[in-house]
Structure 1
Amino acid sequence: MIEQIRKVLEANEWELPLPITAELEHQPLVFDTCLRLLPGKRVTLAGRWGKKPVVAKLFLPQARKEQTAEITGYAALQKADIPTPELLWSGEMDTGLSAVIYQKLDPVEPLSAGLQGEKRAAFLAAAFELLASMHRNGICQTDIHFDNFLLANGKLHVIDNASLQAQEKPLNGEQCVGNLAAFIAQFPWLERQALLESPYLALPLSLKPERAREQLDEASQSIWWKRAEKYLAKVFRNCTEVAVEQRGGWFVAAKRGLDESWVAQFRAAPDSVMAKAEMLKDGNSATVVRAQLAGQSVVIKRYNIKSTSHRLRRLFRETRASNAWRAAHLLQMAGLKTPAPLLLMEQRRGPVRGVSYLVTADAGGEEMLDAYQRREPTQRELDDVRDIFRVMEELQLCHGDFKARNFLVTERGVELIDLDVLHAVRSKSQFRQCKDKDRTRFLRNWYAHPAMESRFRALLAGEQ
């Protein structure tokens, strides 16, 4: 029953029991899939209304203005003849929830998937052309992201109409640049420069190309960092991607979808789980093991408290596990390869911190020094190393320990690990010192292999 939806939304819960059945205008309405749940606000569901496949958004009374915005946005797209799913019904349900129900597009391919596939160039060209059409018709997508564009019947369709703003005249140059910048900021930082130089980029004719690209560069940088800061705050609290629990003196943040029984077992006795695992490193400051999580190989790192004085020094400081958890998400957002962060757990008593744990996917592979003593690096691997240094320089990120064992050569390419002290540096002068230290440490790995050292030195200098 629809009442269940309202109860879940009002209780700020993150799970909705499905399927849910109801009746609307004498036709059965069945929801069997939850597409997005925002506790306290709204839920997006897929199902069937009679014989029609539908997608519905249901809003709590306090979010009713979003329903109005959905209808207004839909009308603007219809007037501009811009593809969007057909609005089948809007109104208020018996439970007090307001709703909009759209025809479900089928089959569809999200823009996010298309940009990762073989048709990336075609998807990118279509996305830029669609944005240009929206701008010419005075429409701006204020919450622009890949999931708001779906390919169906050979056309990109716009969804999430509540985030559209429409005006009678075309967007001016600055508005166009701002919206394009917000779109480019959705991509990993690694791809940003290529996007700014893309032949598909439709710059506003009202601005000189050089000035438009300069504004686009500056705006996309600023928006990307704002997105990053917002995202990095979210991974420490309950959100669509992460489930957070704090009880019994433990703080746990875990990726949704992890095996719940394993998480419960680990939370109850983390050292017992580690004792049964394969030892990778038994150091004074950290212990690292390889374990199995529901058939998936994972790496668990425990950050040890070395002594009483060490405990006292770290009592009120962020744990290294927390920093590594944040840094891994940042590198993934930037497009750099690093083992996926799965779980963070740390002892907390108010502001006091104790022992902490970080669980990541097992990247496999081998340490870079071992790999390149046996063979030459591939071009893909060299590109990965170049990208790591380039992106970290552009974002002013310092790793702090660029020894070869912190570069893993895997099936995916070169992955960066040991992110315990990775941090961003705002001061350009301080970053230069940090960058020089990281580069010097990296090149020192190869002192016994002068040919490889020369090759990496030329790579970092941009000579190959």
Structure 2
Amino acid sequence: MKIVTSSGDLIIFDWLRVLPRQRLVGAGELLGRPVLVKLFIAPRAMRHWQREVDGLMLLEQAHILTPKVVASGELDGGGYFLCTDYLAGAETLQQYWKALPADKSQSRLVAWDPEAIVLLKRALRSIALLHRAGLTQLDLHMGNFLVYGDELYVIDGDAIKASSPGYAVSGREAEDNLSIFFAQLDSHWDAKIELLLIEYLQVNTERALNPDRLQAQVKRIRANRLRDWLTKAVRDCSHFMVHMTWWQFSSVVREHAAVLGPLLAAPDQPFSAAPMLKDGGSSSVTQVEAGGRALVIKRYNIKGLGHWLSRFWRPSRAWHSWLAGHQLHFLGIATPAPLAMIESRFGWMRRRAWLVTEFCSGPNLLDLLGPDGKSVPTSEQSDALLGMLARLHQARITHGDFKATNLLWHAEHVWLIDLDSMQFHKAEADYHRAWMKDRARFVRNWPQGSALTAWLETHLPH
């Protein structure tokens, strides 16, 4: 694609990222020079373009590594462009983080991994340089740090703010900005924040930090991020594709939309083509393969007029499970990835609904430990079960149907399924009452007086 600019003909070879209603990012060439191209074509294009240019200039003036601006200006047909040096082969810290083995990047305390620490320390040194120069990065995450050779570059000038150019930011500003970074991590890293801050303070010694206030800010921002994420799960955005008509509402993870398209168009078809895993009155479950991966489809049935009258006016169980699954994923609690949700509707009135998730092949805990209760969990199984319960407790979440068959053992983790009744509790008393019901239901899976029930009564939190 060729674009005529005031700096010469801009040739774009490959689109790297498309942000709907915001900007396009591509790799190209300007007068024979490899460049990274950003095209700002949204209604507020000028504002975002100017902030991007200003932010990169602030970084350069502070002698903080960032890709050099090659050309910038207004497009003849409307919108703005920005070209920076193209750093071939560069990868973000986020890409390195995702390349870590799952048990490391999930960041359990038992997997306090040196490779993960190195990545975090590199980011914290760069953040310290920003703060020492009086700058903050308002969208602070590892995706905005680019590794090129042995150097670390700061990118996304749009989010750079000059709080106090030439003077270090205040302690509170530093805490607020650092909390944005730490809130991106799994909550199991929270206990190590003070140790990680040592790396930051070796670079920026200008201001004292309050670790207690920082921890409180991290929890607040993480809660806000979760609320925003669940809001996005039911509206059209860069991660989710939402389609709504008079007859149907659907939300699908955008990167899987093409593969799941036929399934969204005819969600009942697999139930007649494949043996069902469950065929109950209120729900039916079957397995299907799409795009080379095994999936599970759960259909929430309407048993009759009375059942429909009790359900049509409120979000379906599929809707509730869809949000619950994304909440658990956000919190790092193992559950099959929710990929799509469909509601059959008549206007605003809901009818049947479907939920599509990944298939988890592990045995449930009743089969794993045996129905007679003679066996107790291994140390590995015990750590996984109690660790999962600790995360649920920290988030004040209860399952609501805590049967052993709703907990699977897979990849050295305990996975939660059937999230129809999952609840988040704001009131402490409500949470404790609901948890004691979950606890009692889980213990009842095995005979009273068995070795396993004795183990559970000793180890499960009260």
TM over 0.5: yes
Partner secondary structure for residue 202 of structure 1: helix
Query: 2:141 maps to what in 1?
Result: 145
Establish whether residue 43 from structure 1 lines up as the match of residue 39 from structure 2: no
Per-residue Cα deviation, 1:276-305 (whole angstroms, up to 9, x for no partner) = 123111111110111111321100000111
Q: 1:403 to 1:159 in 2, by over 3 A?
A: same
Which residue in the other structure is 1:157 paired with? 153
CA distance in 1, matches of 2:173, 2:429: 34
Distance in 2, matches of 1:349 and 1:189, equals 41
Conservation of the 8 A alpha-carbon contact between 1:55 and 1:102: yes
2:104 corresponding residue in structure 1:
none
C-alpha contact (below 8 Å) 2:287/2:294 kept by paired residues: yes
For residue 201 of structure 1, report the CA deviation from its aligned partner: 5.7
Judging changes above 3 Å, is the alpha-carbon distance between structure 1 residues 243 and 438 closer, same or farther for their aligned structure 2 residues? same
Structure 1 CA distance, aligned partners of 2:236 and 2:191? 33
Closer, same or farther: CA 96–380 of 1 in aligned 2, 3 Å: farther
Asked if structure 1 preserves the Cα contact closer than 8 Å seen for 2:388 and 2:414, the reply is no
Correspondence for 1:16: none
Q: Is there any run of 5+ residues in structure 2 with no aligned partner, and where?
A: 101-113
Q: Where does residue 107 of structure 2 map in the other structure?
A: none
8 Å contact kept, 1:125–1:200: no
Question: Hey, what does 2:236 align to over in structure 1?
Answer: 238
- Asked if the contact 1:274/1:291 (under 8 Å) is kept, the reply is no
Residues 136/268 of structure 1: CA separation in 2 closer, same or farther (3 Å cut): closer
Residues 56-65 or 66-75, more deviating: 56-65
Asked if the contact 1:278/1:291 (under 8 Å) is kept, the reply is no
Over 3 Å counting, the alpha-carbon distance change for 1:100 and 1:195 in structure 2 is: same
Residue 115 and residue 379 in structure 1: after superposition, are their counterparts in 2 closer, same or farther (change >3 A)?
Answer: farther
Shift of 1:261: 6.3
| 1:99–1:375 distance in 2 versus 1, CA, 3 Å | farther
The Cα of 1:390 is off from its aligned counterpart by: 1.3
Q: 1:101 aligns with which of 54, 78, 83?
A: 83
Instruction: For residue 225 of structure 1, report the CA deviation from its aligned partner.
Output: 0.8
Closer, same or farther: CA 270–432 of 1 in aligned 2, 3 Å: same
Query: Counterparts of 2:279 and 2:199 in 1: how far apart (Å)?
Result: 52
> Superposition pairs for residues 32-181 of structure 1, below 5 Å?
32-39=14-21, 41-60=22-41, 62-116=44-98, 117=100, 119-166=115-162, 167-168=164-165, 169-181=167-179
The TM-score normalised by the length of structure 2 is: 0.88
Over the matched positions of the two proteins, sequence identity in percent amounts to 31
Q: d(CA) in 1 for partners of 2:321 and 2:122? A: 37
Structure 1 stretches lacking a partner, 5+ long: 1-19
* Structure-to-structure mapping, 1:151-300, within 5 angstroms: 151-166=147-162, 167-168=164-165, 169-195=167-193, 197-198=195-196, 200=198, 202=200, 212-247=210-245, 249-258=247-256, 260=258, 262-263=260-261, 265-300=262-297
Contact 1:259-1:294 at 8 Å conserved across structures: no
CA distance in 1, matches of 2:412, 2:244: 35
How far has the Cα of 1:199 moved from its partner? 5.8
CA contact (8 A) 2:123 2:142 kept: no
RMSD: 2.4
Query: Which SS does the other structure have where 1:366 is aligned?
Result: coil
Take 1:165 and 1:123, find their aligned partners in 2: how far apart are those partners?
24
Q: What secondary structure, in the 3-state scheme, does the structure 1 residue paired with 2:123 have?
A: helix
Q: Deviations over 1:148-197 (max 9, x none)?
A: 11211122211111111012221111101101111111123343333455
CA distance in 1, matches of 2:381, 2:31: 54
Q: Given that residues 171 and 208 in structure 2 are in contact (C-alpha distance below 8 angstroms), is that contact kept between their aligned partners in structure 1? A: no
Query: CA distance change for structure 1 residues 197 and 307 in 2, over 3 Å: closer, same or farther?
Result: farther
The aligned runs of 1:373-412 (5 Å cut-off) are 373=370, 377=377, 379-411=379-411
Could you tell me how far 1:62 is from its partner in structure 2? Answer: 2.7
Checking the alignment, whether the CA contact within 8 Å between 1:115 and 1:124 is kept in structure 2 is no
Give the C-alpha shift of residue 71 in structure 1.
Answer: 1.6
Q: Displacement of 1:321 after TM fit?
A: 0.4
298-307 or 240-249: which moved more? Answer: 240-249
Contact 2:240 2:254 in 1 (8 A): yes
Kept in 1, the 8 Å contact 2:297–2:357? The answer is yes
**In structure 2, C-alpha distance between the alignment counterparts of 1:278 and 1:47, rounded to whole Å:** 51
Deviation digits for residues 61-96 of structure 1 (CA, Å, limit 9, x no counterpart): 632111111121112111222111111111112222
2:420 alignment partner, SS class = coil
Native 8 Å contact 2:375 2:452 kept in 1: no
**What displacement does 1:208 show?**
6.3
- Are the counterparts in 1 of residues 259 and 291 from structure 2 also a CA contact under 8 Å? no
Change (3 A) 1:300 1:196: farther
CA contact (8 A) 1:251 1:347 kept: yes
Q: What residue in structure 1 maps to residue 109 of structure 2?
A: none
Contact 1:115–1:121 (Cα < 8 Å) also in 2: no
Closer, same or farther in 2 for the Cα pair 1:455/1:113, shift >3 Å? farther
Asked whether 1:325 is paired with 2:322, we answer yes
Distance (Å, rounded) in 2 between the aligned partners of 1:95 and 1:449: 78
Match of 1:443 in 2: 443
1:430 partnered with 2:412: no
Counterpart residue number, 1:301: 298
Task: Check 1:315–1:454 CA distance in 2 against 1; reply closer, same or farther (3 A cut).
Answer: same
Q: Relative to 1, partners in 2 of residues 1:304 and 1:78: Cα closer, same or farther, differing over 3 Å?
A: same
CA distance in 2, matches of 1:171, 1:95: 41
Q: Is the 8 A contact 1:298 1:362 kept in 2?
A: yes
Q: Which amino acid aligns with 1:444?
A: R
Tell me which residue corresponds to 1:22. Answer: 3
Of the structure 1 ranges 200-209 and 147-156, higher mean CA displacement relative to structure 2 is found in 200-209
Amino acid paired to 2:25: T
The amino acid of 2:394's aligned partner reads E
Q: Please give the secondary structure, in 2, of the residue aligned with 1:115.
A: helix
